[in-house]
Amino acid sequence: MTPLEDAARVSQHAPSVFNTQPWAWRITGDTLELFAEPDRRVDSIDPDGRLLLLSCGAALHHTRVALAAAGRAISVERLPDPAEPDLLARVRLGETTVPPDPEAQRLAAAITRRRTDRRAFDDRPVAEAELTRLRRLVESEGAYLHVVRPEQTAMLAVSTELAAGTELEDPAYRADLHHWTSRPDFTGDGVPPATAVQPGLRRVPIRNFTPDGTAGLNAGVRHDRGASYVVLFGAGDQHADLLRGGEALSALLLLATADGLATAPLSDTIEVAWPRQLLRGLLAGIGEPYLVIRLGHLSAADPLPPVPRRDPRDVITIVD
């Protein structure tokens, strides 16, 4: 397998909204192109494709990490062709190899270990130094991180609850939820109910993926007391900003995983206008919120049930 094909395959482990994996890759010689698959956009919650772009950005970052860990120098052009809006990025392999980057190797090793864990986290807090490291890494990827302060958590909880309630009343949302939680095996996508968590009292509510069924996971005996909630945000919400935001999301999740933290993105509050406005307020109006992420410790927990991935043959095209 060529390094580019290898990297494209690695990107399939990236997180995506409703596990839609809304991207495709085309490899031509030493060039790897990333395309959005707009048919995979979740209409009811993502009419502008923000969550789709964040997901594609995460896939792009996964390939960058895989190539850096393999000692391959690359150049990345983002949104290279205004005439082709679904072409999100072009990655070119350099001719020479470089010494593999040890930090990239650490992040690359976290790619298959990273999971969205919807169970409640322990009481042990996330260290300040860790949050600082995550913030710096996110900034190096062109986005920003706001650590929700204790006195702001209630506002985050209220806005998430409000968003979740509004969405569950929308028949189009219920239909999308049903669609993406009952996918047949061969599609290799969607959120299996086995990985969703049963509703319960949480510091900030977790999305209820199975309002008409049963979620496989129990929140457990913990209460998220030590969890940190961070808001990933950026200066704008143009396509280029969101793609970079997705790259920063991947960087954040991989570093947190490499450092032994459990992670779970939360996007409900971004998806509905008024809660999103409340979240913008938490940022004191200095940026556009992209996503909330819950970070924490989860010791001695059972392994999570598997989440499917698409067949690489449907995702990666190799042009001779």
Ligand X SMILES: Cc1cc2nc3c(=O)[nH]c(=O)nc-3n(C[C@H](O)[C@H](O)[C@H](O)COP(=O)(O)O)c2cc1C
Given the rule CB under 6 A, which residues bind ligand X? 15-19, 51, 54-55, 58, 115-116, 118, 191, 206-207, 264-268, 291, 307
Closer of 3 and 117 to ligand X (Cβ): 117
Closer of 27 and 36 to ligand X (Cβ): 36
User: At its nearest, how many Å lie between ligand X and the CB of residue 120?
Assistant: 13
Strands of 23-28's sheet, edge to edge?
Answer: 72-78, 87-97, 31-36, 23-28, 316-319
Closer of 93 and 315 to ligand X (Cβ): 315
Helix (H, G, I), strand (E, B) or coil at 235: coil
Q: How far is CA 1 from CA 4, 9, 92, 112, 318, in A?
A: 8, 10, 17, 19, 11
Closer of 16 and 228 to ligand X (Cβ): 16
What are the beta bridge partners of residue 232? Answer: 145, 291
User: At its nearest, how many Å lie between ligand X and the CB of residue 6?
Assistant: 19
Question: Which candidate, 69, 52, 41, places its Cα nearest to that of 15?
Answer: 52
The answer to whether the CB of 117 falls within 8 A of the CB of 218 is no
Q: Which residues contact 265 (CB under 8 A, 6 or more apart)?
A: 15, 116, 249, 253, 291, 292, 293, 294
User: At its nearest, how many Å lie between ligand X and the CB of residue 213?
Assistant: 15
Closer of 51 and 156 to ligand X (Cβ): 51
User: At its nearest, how many Å lie between ligand X and the CB of residue 99?
Assistant: 30
Closer of 72 and 118 to ligand X (Cβ): 118
Q: For residues 213 and 207, what is the distance between their CA atoms, to the nearest angstrom?
A: 14
Q: For residues 104 and 74, what is the distance between their CA atoms, to the nearest angstrom?
A: 14
Using alpha carbons only, how large is the chain's radius of gyration in Å?
19
The answer to whether the CB of 58 falls within 8 A of the CB of 12 is no
User: At its nearest, how many Å lie between ligand X and the CB of residue 298?
Assistant: 13
User: At its nearest, how many Å lie between ligand X and the CB of residue 97?
Assistant: 30
Residue nearest to ligand X (CB): 15
